[in-house]
Structure 1
């Protein structure tokens, strides 16, 4: 996990609905169609309810016959039931759409991280990304369940209701037209403040998650140096900031609700007073006045609710902005990679081309504005290539370039295909200096990525990695807790070896696999790697141990020189 945090101000869309939502979440398209149809039906029900209630009241006053009044009341009850059904339908459609969109965006986010590769992920904070993919996308329930349906309802219902009011009483219609824009103006002003505060709260939450994850991961080191209390104080400080940001968001939300309700109430009161005076003068009929008065609150209600629901959905909006930024970056990167050269004998997901040779010609890895020393060599099947050099010479970075975790200049081909155009998962088995184990059994860690693990191959991989004494069924904790450093390293080597034995890769790349091993175990490991090469594997080996030369067919020496670019 990197400690790097997002730099610069957060970017958000100023539009009510980000068009990237329709691009990356196909389920949202059908959602808008369904919600639009429901909004039309709800508007019709609102108008019908106002008309039937007006007819029932005026009819009762005028002495309407009981059968006719009863039929009106029955129709009114049916309209009320229809309105309840439509509300339920809107909630059900919104909940289903939110769940599907969450799933699609999470899948797209995972795929995007895979496209962007380890190099991109290395400069991001994984805790922040986890918060975005978890809690952030969970907040889409409010976005889809409240904000977007209300937004569609506003677009559909408000103009229809205003048109009906104008048709019945143009003075009331004109009053709504003149006062209605006041609500969006105040919504924009309050919304600008809300968005800024909400974004700050969201960034504080991400920072809190990152700080907590880093503290837990390095707790043992902090205790050794006596800094655990300071780390806890730092978390407490960020927690206090998050609490203050949350309260600030709530204050603005309450202020927004009050302002919108006050404006709507004043506007409806103006219409009511106007209708009252004209009823006294006989300028308007009771039925028309009552019908228009019943519709007046409904004309303002959708717009008021949009402002209220915006606050509830603000966290989801902030999270989707982050997700869309990642997806946009992956989309542009994917287009660039699509044009990379390929060769007829390039490996595919079904296997690798037999006899493929790995060739590096003047490969210079770029790291933080530095260009590391060039690496040039060939690695053919059946050979062991040992990469040596002092720290900082670029040995680990060279393997990082091959697995897509670092940018480089020069030529790197496998089977005649540019390695930048090849997913490393189809040709490379790799184990680095950090084991990277996960919670689960040793067998599951060794067979990581294999849907149907083969127990025999798992045991053979463990034996080659000098970990045959470990029980494959043994359960490990988070990050492989329960194993010593040397055991964890051997399990990581076994994982790469298993991938090779399973036929999922032909090139085995190991970075300091014997760093935590004693000389006897190290010798056994070298013999196992030599046997794999003799069976046809291509082995790339980084090691400071001189004993590694005993199995190497070729030794590549890198010297620590660099060029600032």
Structure 2
């Protein structure tokens, strides 16, 4: 975890402008504060000496108005910067995961934690910490330069004591980094365990072990809570330590100024300026320390995001092919899941041209994995794949939260008449026409509102709208009755007249109408024509 990694601006270019504006506003606020110290000292001296108040009051009022405007601007730009950086990083991260093969993506628990809570934690990092870091590097220099011009002895005290703050901040920051990493691991563990429990809940209920998981989740939650409390205690202690150092340093300046005022070796204006300017040299560094604790989760998340998006992906092993190629060819294809020794696919030879090819085999033999490898979603361990553009319909197709029209148009811009024709071909035209809002009917996340069979047929309707020459379908009739299964079979045969259709199934009806039947086994693939 680094306080600032310049790669974040390279990875997310949209974040450069708001962060730069916010840093400039922070520096302007520091300069305005130093100017306010001069105006306030001039006003006090004018009151004590009985001079004219018009000029000092006007300058002080103007600077206070400028500072108020900069403060308002800072809040507005901070909100803009936080949203821009968060959205940019999440977009880059999700696009990266979609581009790489499945085995190079993070585990679902880590992916969910990083893309949700992790990226959200970047907002205070970008909106608060990065501008404070810039101000902490610039404003103390301006304050010390002003002090040198006003009173070199006070400037010497500040120069000698100022390095203590970043030194202690670095020491405390190292401890904060360790605590934040432990807290992040606890959060990932909690998220991973919760996801595993949700996935296996039907099995746990069936074996009477669901109640036990309540205790396990509670224990993991307690570990996360304890890690969070340790981080908060450390944050409060570090803030107190930096405040103490800054207060002692300012007190030293005040004591030296007071003694010199008593002996008449310094005038009132110089003494007031020294006392007013000294805190401004320490305040930006104290703010950096405080904001670092607030943004520690964001810094950890930024490091994790950059580790994911800046690693060069492995290139899929695919042979030369054209996007419009009508066919799929696999030679010596093998695949092994990461972290396992036994291959899922072994020496699979497959050649599917235009027409309907059906793949069968016992459960667990790797039929779904074969489709994902042919589609380019997974990188084969051995062998080579050659295929044109592919449209894959999985056993659990993705339907976005939105309208039914949005779900059908995913990846296309087909007009409504084409959507109704696609629905007719899968037997859903009457059902959708009977809905109160028809194509404008809202669906929940993952197609909530439709049955499993209806979701499968919506995905098949979407496949008919695709222009990809190769269609891969995984168990298209798994959730359908006999009449709907026959309709889907006829549709696949119709699509196979002008495309290469490769369907994984357990249904003998599809096998009987197929142009080619591939039986997948642990030893390879047997082709029957």
TM-score by length of 1: 0.82
Taking the TM superposition and a 5 Å limit, the aligned residue runs for 1:403-552 are 403-408=375-380, 409-415=382-388, 427-435=389-397, 445=407, 447-452=409-414, 454-463=418-427, 470-471=431-432, 473=435, 479-480=446-447, 488-489=452-453, 491-492=455-456, 494-516=457-479, 522-533=485-496, 535-552=497-514
Aligned to 1:136: 118
Aligned to 1:60: 47
Equivalent position to 1:556, from 500, 507, 518? 518
Partners of 2:313 and 2:145 lie apart in 1 by: 49
Offset, 1:251: 0.7
Change (3 A) 1:219 1:88: same
Partners of 2:494 and 2:289 lie apart in 1 by: 69
Residues 422, 465 of structure 2: 8 Å contact kept:
no
Offset, 1:438: 5.8
The answer for unaligned runs of 5 or more in structure 2 is 436-440, 525-529
Partners of 1:411 and 1:480 lie apart in 2 by: 35
Partners of 1:541 and 1:274 lie apart in 2 by: 86
Partners of 1:32 and 1:514 lie apart in 2 by: 52
Residues 426, 487 of structure 2: 8 Å contact kept:
no
Change (3 A) 1:267 1:165: same
Aligned to 2:179: 197
Offset, 1:289: 1.6
Equivalent position to 1:209, from 191, 196, 200? 191
Deviations 1:276-314 (A, max 9, x none): 122222222222122111111111111111101111111
Deviations 1:6-47 (A, max 9, x none): xxxxxx23xx31111110222332234423433443333222
The answer for unaligned runs of 5 or more in structure 1 is 1-11, 416-426
Change (3 A) 1:340 1:159: farther
Partners of 1:441 and 1:69 lie apart in 2 by: 67
Aligned to 1:25: 12
Change (3 A) 1:450 1:203: farther
Aligned to 1:418: none
Cα root mean square deviation, aligned: 2.8
Taking the TM superposition and a 5 Å limit, the aligned residue runs for 1:157-168 are 157-168=139-150
Change (3 A) 1:436 1:114: closer
Aligned to 1:73: 57
Aligned to 1:112: 96
Offset, 1:377: 2.5
Offset, 1:495: 4.0
Deviations 1:451-500 (A, max 9, x none): 5453323323423xxx67754747765545566xxx624642x3453244
Residues 318, 385 of structure 2: 8 Å contact kept:
no
Aligned to 2:25: 38
Deviations 1:504-552 (A, max 9, x none): 322222233344556666555434422332x322121223444443112
Aligned to 1:244: 226
Offset, 1:445: 4.7
Greater Cα offset, 516-525 or 549-558: 516-525
Deviations 1:24-74 (A, max 9, x none): 22233223442343344333322222222222222322232xxx2222122
Aligned to 1:333: 313
Change (3 A) 1:58 1:340: farther
Deviations 1:224-279 (A, max 9, x none): 22122111112211221222122111111110111011010011111111111222
Offset, 1:435: 4.9
